[in-house]
């Protein structure tokens, strides 16, 4: 109190300005608001600065007559007791009362903000969440030690970027036209591009996409291809395909008739052959891509065997024909023999895969099931399309199909008689394929690469093509692409090959359903799938799962065999373990969205009829590898059976153990392993007896891709990996020289065993499903007795076909 009184006179403290007011309230007001006292003091001095100094005492206090402002102030003091008013109401007066009541100190022209006193509990440094974000925002109040220090209070938005950005990929035809083609199964072709690594499957797809979309898949400046179906960033960096990606393209044949070609681009690396298996399950035919320079490779043979195992017809695309010209520098005659040898090896592999059962389709260019192409140069043709090119060029009406049948094999053109014969003319000459196909092709390449503008221009004019002058200023590769695409036109020859040699979904329905459906053949569902009936009960076979952009859930990709799947429809999801006797592996889900999958783009649709490929949202929760979708009410009046699970021609032989670097993150890693099992068809994740989590894959590159996805996409935890272990299997080459003997623990049962190799063809029959251990003993005995001459008693005594069953 002494420090406070030192600033004021004793007389001022004890003598009130208003005789009627007691000194105690005035003293209390000064003690609470000394700044207001000083402010009034300064105000009085300012107003009376020109008056006589006799109005003030020796301490500077005013002792003159009362002024109007003092009377008003005393009148306010009488009306209102300051001790009963809240402090917020005295923080300001007049216009600042509303702001003060809200807890904010606002500046005013009449108040000195520097000298104002605000109690600590009344100070407000930051606005509340409700004032900033509105009333609908949830405010979370937590104790100090509720969250770890290394964990942020507001978790940042998870931004996962594993796919290449979507490029403008609008089609030349409207979406309604594509949906209209989907409703007619006879105008649909479902195929899978298969072949060896780096044989040009993805670049060939780029060529087809460039002819059906408003986009260019080749950068003339960098001379690099877009690789549109390689949607993942690691695929672009590795320059190989890892996932099978579908595209739905509207292609025209040579008669300008449009067809919907659903094409699945599959990886060529042997480690990712499981993606090829999933693609062939959905397809009605296989397009085998073979490099003209390298010929038939290991994975080419594997693809042939797999297509024959799935009972699919095969057509061939001899890709990279220009490598024979630019790299190997073969003369046209040697290039013909190289191509012919490649086709002979393909036919021999097809015969070996079918076990010489007869009715083997022969791959022959004259039959129209071989297409010659160069994806890098952007051209493709069959002998039939090349013959039509001659008809269009010369303007002479003749039968193009008959002319095409004479453009392959030992056929020679005799110009004197104007006929084709199997013997060369007396004056000598090359085979018709060399003379009419390879020599014009060689001429275009040699002149464009030699940069002879006048000769290139003359050659193109002979072929009925005229290019602008600006085109001849391009580099060699862009000019070559432009010249070849102008001469050979679009991919109508490839479309003709698919239309003629690959059956439509309706034509192949019987063969597909017999091969993959496990139910009886006298049921209503089987008959609807056999007829590809869009009005029948819904049956969808799901073989692939694709992750969302945030990798939290998956979208299911499958083929509709009967009925229609619609958005908002409730379906039954039957897993691989479902059977009419055991319905545990079954859930009921609602279809939320449907798309036509276009690699980097998705076209939303309302429904998908029978025979089409569709991407489905909302049904992936209970799917691990494959699944069967059906109507919710079909099971009320008929038993439902599932589609057969995928059968792989490779086995996961490489195993590695994983564990999180931080043991507390084990649940996250386990959830990531579950998503890995969904994303990779052949990946096996399990917990060993020792408690370690193991991953089984087909090879080192396969496991490397799995670990990259596990760390960056599906778990976001740091994972430690053990050294990979390769499992070896043994086989039997001859009968055992001795018996294996064992006794049970009670010494009352004895087992003896010998091993001997199976008959040739029996392992293939077991793998292809020609015989099943699930059959009754009588049926199995009849099969072995009839097909392999086994004893009836021995045939009925079979225990198992292998360790799996």
DSSP 584-638: -SEEEEE--EEEEEETTEEEE-SEE-TT-EEEEES--TT-SS-EEEEETTGGGTS
Q: What is the pLDDT of residues 788-804, one digit of tens each?
A: 888 888 888 888 887 66
Tokens 């050294």 sit on residue: 723
C-alpha separations of 302 from 223, 274, 347, 516 in Å: 32, 12, 14, 20
Query: Which pLDDT value is given to residue 10?
Result: 37
625 and 673 co-located in one domain: no
Could you identify the residue written with the tokens 């070609």?
261
CA–CA gap between residue 641 and residue 651 (Å, rounded): 26
Q: Are residues 303 and 379 in the same domain?
A: yes
% of the chain exceeding 70 in pLDDT: 85
Q: What is the CATH number of the domain that holds 573?
A: 2.40.30.10
- 189 shares a domain with 101: no
- Model confidence over 665-703: pLDDT tens digits? 999 999 999 999 999 999 999 999 888 999 999 999 999
Q: Give residue-wise pLDDT tens across range 584-609.
A: 899 999 999 999 999 989 999 999 99
In a shared domain, residues 88 and 116: yes
pLDDT of residue 168: 65
**Predicted local distance difference test score (pLDDT) of residue 34:** 42
**Residue 158 domain flag:** no
How do the residues of the chain divide into helix, strand and coil, expressed in percent and rounded to 5?
Answer: 40, 20, 45
DSSP per-residue letters across 290-326: EETTTBS-HHHHHHHHHHHHTT--EEEEEE-TTHHHH
**Which residues form the domain of 721?**
654-726
**164 occurs within a structural domain:** no
Average pLDDT, the chain: 84
Answer for the pair 559, 613: CB distance below 8 angstroms, yes or no: yes
Q: Which of 32-46, 436-450, 490-504, 733-747 has the lowest mean pLDDT?
A: 32-46
Report how far residue 121's alpha carbon sits from residue 700's, in angstroms, rounded to the nearest whole number.
65
pTM given for the model: 0.77
pLDDT confidence of residue 68? 63
Q: With a cut of 50, say whether residue 409 has pLDDT above it.
A: yes
Q: What CATH number should be reported for the domain holding residue 295?
A: 3.40.50.300
Name the domain boundary from 501, 532, 556. Answer: 501
Confirm if 288 and 317 have CB atoms less than 8 A apart.
yes
Judge if 249 and 179 occupy the same domain.
yes
Residue 433 included in any domain: no
Same domain, 189 and 326: yes
Q: Which pLDDT score, from 0 to 100, does residue 804 have? A: 64
Same-domain status, 359 and 313: yes
Lowest average pLDDT, out of 49-63, 187-201, 495-509, goes to: 49-63
Do both 538 and 615 map to the same domain?
yes
Q: Are residues 495 and 606 in the same domain?
A: no
Q: Does one domain contain both 317 and 230? A: yes
Query: Residue 164 gets which letter from DSSP?
Result: P
Supply the pLDDT for residue 2.
Answer: 40
| pLDDT band at residue 98 using 50, 70 and 90 as cut-offs | very low
Residue among 286, 389, 400, 301 nearest 348 (CA) = 301
Residue 105 has pLDDT above 50, yes or no: no
Distance CA 618, CA 592 (A): 6
Question: Percentage of residues in the chain with pLDDT exceeding 90?
Answer: 53
Q: Comparing 42 with 228, which gets the higher pLDDT?
A: 228
User: What is residue 534's predicted lDDT score, i.e. its pLDDT?
Assistant: 94
- Mean pLDDT (whole number) for 135-149: 74
Which of the 8 DSSP states describes residue 777?
Answer: H
Does residue 432 fall inside a structural domain?
no
- The predicted-structure confidence for 241-274, as pLDDT tens digits, reads as follows 999 999 999 999 999 999 999 999 999 999 999 9
Q: Which residue has the tokens 């799935």?
A: 310
Q: Give the angle 699-701-704 at the CA atoms, nearest 5°.
A: 110
Domain CATH code at residue 693: 3.30.70.870
* Residue 15 in this model has a pLDDT that exceeds 50: no
Residue 86 clears pLDDT 60, i.e. is over it: no
Q: Residue 198's pLDDT is what?
A: 94
* pLDDT value of residue 699: 92
Burial (0-12, 13-18, 19+ Cβ within 10 Å), 42: exposed
Q: Which of 453, 474, 501 is the last residue of a domain?
A: 501
The rounded distance, in Å, linking the Cα atoms of 66 and 26 is 17
Of the pLDDT bands very low, low, confident and very high (cuts 50, 70, 90), residue 6 is very low
Cβ count near 754 (within 10 Å): 11
135 found inside a domain: no
pLDDT of residue 306: 93
Under the banding of pLDDT at 50, 70 and 90, the label for residue 121 is confident
Of the candidates 691, 710, 726, which is a domain's last residue?
726
| 36-58 mean pLDDT | 52
User: Which among 106-110, 468-472, 523-527 has the top mean pLDDT?
Assistant: 523-527
Q: Is residue 567 part of a domain?
A: yes
Structure tokens at 774: 């699930």
**Which pLDDT band, with edges at 50, 70 and 90, does 474 fall under?**
confident
State the Cα–Cα distance between residues 796 and 784, nearest whole angstrom.
9
Q: Do 205 and 334 share a domain, yes or no?
A: yes
Confidence band of 305 (pLDDT split at 50, 70, 90):
very high
Distance CA 622, CA 589 (A): 9
Is the residue at 739 inside a domain? Answer: no
How far lies 338's CA from each of 68, 294, 398, in Å? 118, 10, 30
In the prediction, which pLDDT does 155 show? 72
Residue appearing with tokens 């014969």: 421
Domain co-membership, 251 together with 327: yes
Quick one: pLDDT band at residue 357, thresholds 50, 70, 90? low
Classify residue 424: in a domain, yes or no. no
pLDDT in tens, 363-379: 999 999 999 999 999 99
Burial class (CB in 10 A: 0-12, 13-18, 19+), 40: middle
What is the H or E stretch that residue 439 is in?
helix 439-449
Say which residues have a Cβ less than 8 Å from residue 559's Cβ, sequence separation at least 6. Answer: 190, 282, 540, 541, 543, 611, 612, 613, 614
Nearest Cα to 43, choosing from 16, 14, 73? Answer: 73
Counting the structural domains of the chain, the total is 5
Q: Which helix (H) or strand (E) holds 251?
A: strand 245-252
């Amino acid at each position: 109190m002494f420090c406070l009184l030192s600033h004021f006179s004793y007389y001022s403290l004890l003598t009130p300005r208003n005789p009627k007011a007691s000194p105690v309230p005035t003293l209390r007001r000064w003690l609470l608001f000394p700044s207001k006292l000083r402010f009034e003091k300064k105000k009085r001095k300012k107003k009376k600065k020109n008056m006589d100094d006799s109005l003030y005492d020796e301490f500077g206090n005013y002792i003159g007559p009362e002024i109007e402002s003092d009377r008003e102030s005393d009148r306010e003091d009488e009306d209102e007791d300051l001790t009963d008013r809240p402090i917020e109401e005295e923080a300001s007066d007049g216009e600042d009362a509303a702001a003060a009541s809200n807890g904010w100190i606002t500046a005013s022209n009449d108040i000195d903000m520097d000298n104002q006193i605000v109690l600590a509990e009344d100070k407000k440094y930051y606005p509340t969440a409700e004032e900033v974000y509105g009333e609908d925002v949830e405010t979370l109040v937590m104790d100090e030690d509720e969250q770890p220090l290394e964990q942020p209070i507001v978790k940042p938005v998870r931004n996962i970027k594993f796919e290449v950005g979507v490029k403008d990929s609008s089609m030349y035809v409207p979406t309604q036209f594509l949906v209209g083609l989907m409703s007619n199964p006879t105008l649909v072709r479902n195929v899978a591009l298969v072949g060896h690594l780096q044989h040009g499957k993805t670049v060939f797809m780029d060529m087809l996409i460039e002819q059906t979309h408003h986009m260019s898949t080749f950068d003339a400046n960098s001379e690099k291809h877009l690789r549109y179906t390689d949607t993942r960033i690691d695929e672009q960096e590795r320059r190989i395909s890892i996932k099978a990606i579908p595209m739905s393209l509207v292609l025209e044949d040579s008669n300008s008739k449009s067809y919907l070609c659903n094409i699945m681009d599959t990886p060529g690396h042997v480690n990712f052959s499981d993606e090829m298996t999933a693609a062939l399950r959905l397809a009605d035919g296989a397009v085998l891509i073979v490099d003209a320079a390298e010929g038939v490779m290991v994975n080419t043979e594997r693809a042939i065997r797999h297509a024959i195992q799935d009972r699919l017809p095969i057509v061939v695309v001899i890709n990279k024909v220009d490598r024979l010209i630019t790299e190997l520098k073969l003369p046209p005659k040697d290039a013909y023999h190289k191509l012919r040898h490649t086709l002979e090896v393909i036919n021999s592999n097809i015969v070996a895969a079918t076990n010489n059962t007869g009715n083997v389709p022969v791959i022959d260019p004259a039959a129209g099931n071989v297409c010659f192409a160069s994806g890098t140069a952007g051209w493709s043709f069959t002998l039939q399309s090349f013959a039509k090119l001659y008809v269009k060029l010369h303007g002479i009406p003749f039968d193009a199909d008959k002319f095409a049948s004479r453009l392959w094999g030992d056929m020679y053109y005799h110009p004197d008689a104007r006929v084709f014969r199997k013997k060369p003319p007396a004056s000598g000459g090359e085979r018709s394929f060399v003379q009419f196909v390879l020599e014009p092709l060689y001429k275009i390449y040699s002149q464009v690469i030699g940069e002879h503008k006048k000769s290139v221009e003359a050659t193109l004019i002979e072929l009925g093509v005229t290019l602008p002058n600006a085109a001849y200023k391009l580099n060699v590769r862009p000019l070559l692409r432009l010249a070849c695409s102008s001469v050979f036109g679009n991919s109508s020859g490839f479309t003709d090959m698919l239309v003629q040699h690959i059956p439509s979904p309706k034509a192949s329905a019987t063969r597909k359903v017999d091969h993959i459906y496990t139910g009886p053949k006298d049921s209503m569902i089987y008959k609807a799938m056999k007829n590809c009936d869009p009005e029948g009960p819904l049956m969808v076979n799901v073989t692939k799962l694709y992750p969302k952009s945030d990798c939290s859930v998956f979208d299911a990709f499958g083929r509709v065999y009967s009925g229609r799947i619609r958005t908002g429809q409730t379906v039954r999801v039957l897993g691989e373990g479902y059977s009419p006797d055991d319905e545990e592996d079954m859930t009921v889900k609602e279809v939320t969205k449907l798309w036509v999958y276009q690699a980097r783009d998705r076209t939303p649709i309302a429904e998908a009829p029978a025979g089409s490929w569709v991407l489905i949202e909302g049904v992936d929760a209970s799917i691990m590898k494959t699944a069967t979708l059906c109507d919710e009410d079909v099971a009320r009046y008929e038993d439902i059976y599932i589609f057969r699970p995928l059968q792989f021609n490779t086995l996961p032989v490489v195993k590695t153990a994983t564990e999180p670097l931080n043991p507390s993150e084990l649940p996250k890693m386990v959830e990531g392993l579950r998503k890995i099992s969904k994303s990779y068809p052949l990946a096996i994740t399990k917990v060993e007896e020792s408690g370690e989590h193991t991953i089984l894959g087909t090879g080192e590159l396969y496991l490397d891709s799995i670990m990259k996805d596990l760390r960056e996409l599906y778990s976001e935890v740091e994972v430690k990996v053990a050294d990979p272990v390769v499992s070896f299997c043994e086989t039997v080459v001859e009968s055992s020289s001795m018996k294996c003997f064992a006794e049970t623990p009670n010494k009352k049962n004895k087992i003896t065993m010998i091993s001997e190799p199976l008959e040739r063809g029996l392992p293939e029959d077991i793998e292809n499903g020609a015989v099943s251990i699930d059959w009754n003993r009588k049926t199995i005995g009849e099969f072995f007795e009839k097909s392999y001459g086994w004893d009836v008693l021995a045939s009925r005594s079979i225990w198992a076909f292998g360790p799996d069953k």
